[in-house]
Amino acid sequence: MAKQRLQSAAATLTSRYPSHERPLAVPPPGSGLKPVLGTYGFPVLGHVLSTLADPLEFARERYRKYGPVWWAGGVGFRVASLMGPEALEAAWINKDKAFSSTRGWAPVIGPFFHRGIMLLDFDEHRDHRRIMQQAFTRTALEGYLDLMRPGIARTVTSWPSAQRFSFYPSVKRLLLDQSAEVFVGASIGAESDQLSADFHATVLGGQAIVRADVPGGAWARGLRARERLERYFGSQLPDRRAGDGTDLFSMLCRSRDEDGERFTDADIVNHMIFLLMAAHDTSAIAIAMLVYELGRNREWQDALREEAVAHANDQITLDALADYPVLDAAFKEILRMYAPAGTLFRQAIKDTEVAGHYIPRNTQVAINVYGSMRLEDWWPNPDQFDPGRFLAGADPSAVHRYAFAPFGGGVHKCIGQHFADMNVKTIMHQMLRHFEWSVPDDYRVQLTWGTGPTPADGLPITLRRLYCRGRPSGIERV
C-alpha cells in the first residue's frame, strides 16, 4: 500500500512535466494516412508511472484527445497504443502480417517465457497451435474438471467464517495447488510447494522494474526459477510420455495434430511454463474481482446463489456449467470491467496502418484491451457493474464484434478460454453454495498492475459460512 501511495505521488509529479506533442513518424507523402500523435513524457521514464498508477484514466484521457491510436514514451521506448474495437481488430486480424507477437512480447516477458506459444509467429505458431489444440478438446476439459473438483471443494469448504478474510492470496493459493494437480499431475506436498515457488518467481521476474540480471533482484530470481522449472519438467518427461495421465502435462506429451506431428521435449517444457503463467494470474484476477463486485452488489450475489442452489449438488459437470446464465453474465461483466490480460504486445515488422494512422516498421504496439472495454462510446456507464448487459436478449457483439474481447482475437485468441470459464464457474459454484460475503459500503479495492488490474490490498472480505441443503429447499445460515 505504501508502494502504491509512493507510485501515485511520483506519477502526479512526473505527469506535470511539459512534454511536447509530436508525430511518431511522418506518413509517406500521398498515402492519405494520419500521423500517430503523442508525447514522450518525463525524461527517460516517459509515462510509465502514470500508466502504473491509473492505467485506465491515463488511457481514456488519451483516447478522448487522440482517438483510437496514440503513442507514449516509456523507459526508452516509444509505444503506440491501440484502443477501441476497430483498432483491436486490425492488430488481431493482422491481414498484411505486419504485427509480430514474438517481437512484441520479447522485451516484456521474453527471457522468462520464451518459445511459449503466445511468443511464436505465423506458420510456426499455427503448427504448434494445431498440436496444442488436442489438449483443449471437450474430452480433455472433462478430464481436467474431474481432477480439479476435489481440490476446489476441499479448499473452499475449509475457508473459515471471518471478518477480514484476505480473499486474493487465498484464491491464488487455491489456483497454485490446482496448477500442481491439474496442470502438472503432481500431488500436493513439498514437490508442489517448490514448483509453486519457482513458478511464482518466474512470473515476478517478467514484471520486474529493474530488468537486468542483478544478483538478488526479481529478474535474477526469475531466471534461476525458470532454470529449475526446466530441469523439473525435463526430468518428468519420459514418464509422462509413457503414461496415461489426464493432467495437462501428460496431455501435451501425447498430443498430435492430424498429420501425427507432436511436440519435442523442449517444446513441451516451454509450453508448460508458459501455460502455467497464462492460466494463473488471469484466473485469479477474474475470480477476485467477481467476488469483490458481488460483495458490493448483494442483489446480484443473491441471484447467483439462487442459481447455484438450484443445481443438484456440489459435483458440477461440464453440461451443468453450461446451464448457469446469471453466473455466466456476471463473469462476462467482470472480464469486461477488469480485463485480466489487460495489455497485449506486438511489434510492427513492416510499415502498416491502423484506423487510418501510419505505423512505421519496428514500432512497439500495445493493444489496450482493458481500456477498450471501459469506453463510454461502446459501453454506456462503463464503470458500473451490470451483468444485465449480458443476460438474455442483450448482445454486445451486435455493436461490434470486438466490443467484448477479453480473450483477444485472431490466431492468438486464448486457447484456454473454456478452461478458464469452467474453472471460474466451478470455484464460484462452491463459494456460492457454502458462503455469503460482503465488503463495507465505502470500501474500494486498491488495484495494482499484473497481467491486468490486480488487487493490491489482499481484498479483505467478510466471509460467512452457510449450510447448503441443495434443491429445492435452499440454504440455511449456521
* Region near ligand HEM per CB under 6 A, out of 28-36, 53-61, 385-393, 411-419: 411-419
Backbone conformation region of residue 393, classed left if phi is above 0, alpha if psi is from -120 to 50, else beta: left
Interactions with ligand HEM, residue window 178-237 (CB under 6 A): none
Q: Do you find a cis peptide bond into 472, omega within 30 degrees of 0?
A: yes
CB 340 to ligand HEM: min, Å: 4
Residue of 42, 113, 233, 419 interacting with ligand HEM (CB under 6 A): 419
Give me the residue whose beta carbon is nearest to ligand HEM. 416
Is there binding between residue 129 and ligand HEM (CB under 6 A)?
yes
Q: Is 460 helix (H, G, I), strand (E, B) or coil?
A: strand
Is there binding between residue 143 and ligand HEM (CB under 6 A)?
no
Query: Measured between alpha carbons, how far is 456 from 444 in angstroms, rounded to an integer?
Result: 11
CB 332 to ligand HEM: min, Å: 11
Backbone phi, then psi, for 197, in 5-degree steps?
Answer: -65, -45
Query: Measured between alpha carbons, how far is 459 from 437 in angstroms, rounded to an integer?
Result: 12
CB 464 to ligand HEM: min, Å: 27
Total residues found in the chain within this entry: 478
Strands annotated E in 127-286 = 162-166
Q: Which is nearer to ligand HEM, 81 or 282 (CB)?
A: 282
Count of residues that interact with ligand HEM, criterion CB under 6 A: 24
Residue of 73, 406, 453, 455 interacting with ligand HEM (CB under 6 A): 406
* Region near ligand HEM per CB under 6 A, out of 21-29, 220-228, 276-284, 438-446: 276-284
Q: In degrees, to the nearest 5, what angle opens at C-alpha 56 toward C-alphas 343 and 93? A: 35
Question: What is the DSSP secondary structure assignment for residue 374, as one 8-state letter?
Answer: T
Interactions with ligand HEM, residue window 316-335 (CB under 6 A): 335
Query: Measured between alpha carbons, how far is 18 from 382 in angstroms, rounded to an integer?
Result: 31
Q: Is 436 helix (H, G, I), strand (E, B) or coil?
A: strand
Residue type, 411: V
Q: Which residues contact 216 (CB under 8 A, 6 or more apart)?
A: none
Q: Which helix (H) or strand (E) holds 293?
A: helix 265-296
Q: Which residues contact 87 (CB under 8 A, 6 or more apart)?
A: 68, 69, 354, 355, 367, 372
Is there binding between residue 145 and ligand HEM (CB under 6 A)?
no
Is there binding between residue 370 and ligand HEM (CB under 6 A)?
no
Q: Which is nearer to ligand HEM, 85 or 406 (CB)?
A: 406
Q: Which is nearer to ligand HEM, 71 or 402 (CB)?
A: 402
Residue in this structure with the C-alpha cell 517481437, named with its chain if needed: 103
* Region near ligand HEM per CB under 6 A, out of 75-83, 218-226, 406-414, 464-472: 406-414
Question: What is the DSSP secondary structure assignment for residue 68, as one 8-state letter?
Answer: S
Is there binding between residue 340 and ligand HEM (CB under 6 A)?
yes
Closest by Cα among 45, 49, 55, 56 to 6: 49
Residue 219: beta bridge partners?
none
* Region near ligand HEM per CB under 6 A, out of 173-181, 200-208, 275-283, 370-378: 275-283
Q: Which is nearer to ligand HEM, 11 or 287 (CB)?
A: 287
* Region near ligand HEM per CB under 6 A, out of 301-309, 395-403, 414-422, 439-447: 414-422
Residue in this structure with the C-alpha cell 464457474, named with its chain if needed: 425
Residue of 170, 255, 270, 283 interacting with ligand HEM (CB under 6 A): 283
Is there binding between residue 275 and ligand HEM (CB under 6 A)?
yes
Is there binding between residue 368 and ligand HEM (CB under 6 A)?
no
Residue of 7, 282, 347, 368 interacting with ligand HEM (CB under 6 A): 282
Is there binding between residue 278 and ligand HEM (CB under 6 A)?
yes
Residue 95: beta bridge partners?
none
Q: Which is nearer to ligand HEM, 278 or 428 (CB)?
A: 278
Residue of 279, 284, 373, 463 interacting with ligand HEM (CB under 6 A): 279
CB 451 to ligand HEM: min, Å: 8
Interactions with ligand HEM, residue window 67-106 (CB under 6 A): 101
Backbone conformation region of residue 380, classed left if phi is above 0, alpha if psi is from -120 to 50, else beta: beta
Residue of 46, 387, 408, 455 interacting with ligand HEM (CB under 6 A): 408
For residue 5, the tally of other CB atoms under 10 A from its CB is 11
Residue of 344, 348, 354, 403 interacting with ligand HEM (CB under 6 A): 344
DSSP for 39-58 reads: E--BTTTBTHHHHHH-HHHH
CB 445 to ligand HEM: min, Å: 17
Q: Which helix (H) or strand (E) holds 131?
A: helix 122-132
CB 283 to ligand HEM: min, Å: 5
Backbone phi, then psi, for 301, in 5-degree steps?
Answer: -60, -45
Query: Measured between alpha carbons, how far is 241 from 370 in angstroms, rounded to an integer?
Result: 39
Q: Which is nearer to ligand HEM, 153 or 275 (CB)?
A: 275
Q: Which is nearer to ligand HEM, 58 or 113 (CB)?
A: 113
Q: Enumerate binding residues for ligand HEM (CB under 6 A).
A: 101, 117-118, 129, 275, 278-279, 282-283, 286, 335, 340-341, 344, 369, 406-408, 412, 414-416, 419-420
